[in-house]
């Protein structure tokens, strides 16, 4: 009880947690996990290191919270795009929405750009990354299942996620949006 009272009397945060995480997302996407220092993070998040540790924890915790924040931001518009009645139109909207994110800064997707290398070295990040991939597969499969459950829906969902990753990597490599649109439209014809 005493700890709760002293916590309540502490100074209020002088930063916006979401803006701080936006800064961390941008930095991790630009430099990757390993090349990002704690000083870089504090600067990008707009807070000092003690406040950063108190609010977010260590570098790994900040990274995971950043990925969660990134996916929270993009999940609603992507899920909404998939709500279209016609499956092909739903996926066209979904991929157009993805390109809005991928092409806004030409850094692609946070998961594709930053997590694979760290996942190989860090068990916690590996577990988290595997969970994200499973959630995306499930989201895509659920939309495919609306048209009727089919044993191939699982594989088609995985292929659609592979197309997402390809678009992300190509956006990061500097492909322009029209090239990426042509690619996902071709991919959708083959998969759907």
DSSP 141-187: HHHHHTT---TTHHHHHHHHHHHHHHHHHHHHTT--HHHHHHHHHHH
Residue 77 makes CB contacts below 8 A (sequence gap 6+) with: 97, 100
Residue 107: its pLDDT value, please? 87
Q: pTM surpassing 0.85? A: yes
Residue 12: its pLDDT value, please? 61
- The domain segmentation of the chain, as residue ranges, is 60-191
**126, 119 contact by CB (below 8 A):** yes
Residue 4: its pLDDT value, please? 44
Residue 143 makes CB contacts below 8 A (sequence gap 6+) with: 82, 87, 90, 91
Chain centre to alpha carbon of residue 48: 25
The CATH code of the domain at 60-191 is: 1.10.357
Q: 5-34, pLDDT tens digit by residue?
A: 444 455 666 789 999 999 999 999 999 999
The pLDDT averaged over each successive group of 10 residues in the chain (192 residues) is 46 83 95 94 96 95 94 92 93 97 89 86 91 95 92 96 96 95 98 94
**40, 31 contact by CB (below 8 A):** yes
Burial per residue of 139-157, b for 16 or more beta-carbon CB atoms within 10 angstroms, e otherwise: bbbebbeeeeeeeebeebb
Write down the H helix ranges in the chain. Answer: 2-9, 17-31, 38-45, 49-56, 59-81, 87-104, 110-121, 123-145, 153-172, 177-191
Residue 10: its pLDDT value, please? 56
Question: Can you give the C-alpha Rg of the chain in angstroms?
Answer: 19
């Amino acid at each position: 009880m005493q700890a709760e009272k002293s916590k309540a009397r502490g100074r209020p945060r002088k930063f916006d947690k979401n803006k701080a995480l936006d800064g961390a997302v941008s930095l991790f996407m630009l430099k990757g996990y390993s090349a990002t220092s704690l000083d870089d993070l504090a600067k990008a998040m707009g807070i000092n290191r003690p406040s950063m540790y108190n609010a977010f924890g260590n570098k790994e915790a900040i990274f995971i919270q950043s990925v969660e924040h990134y996916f929270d931001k993009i999940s609603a518009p992507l899920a909404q795009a998939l709500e279209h009645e016609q499956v092909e139109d739903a996926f066209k909207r979904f991929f157009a929405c993805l390109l809005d994110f991928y092409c806004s800064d030409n850094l692609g997707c946070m998961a594709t750009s930053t997590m694979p290398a760290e996942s190989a070295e860090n068990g916690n990040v590996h577990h988290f990354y595997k969970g994200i991939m499973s959630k995306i597969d499930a989201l895509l499969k659920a939309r495919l299942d609306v048209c009727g459950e089919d044993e191939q829906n699982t594989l088609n969902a995985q292929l659609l996620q592979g197309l997402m990753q390809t678009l992300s990597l190509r956006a990061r490599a500097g492909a322009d949006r029209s090239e990426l649109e042509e690619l996902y439209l071709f991919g959708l014809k083959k998969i759907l």
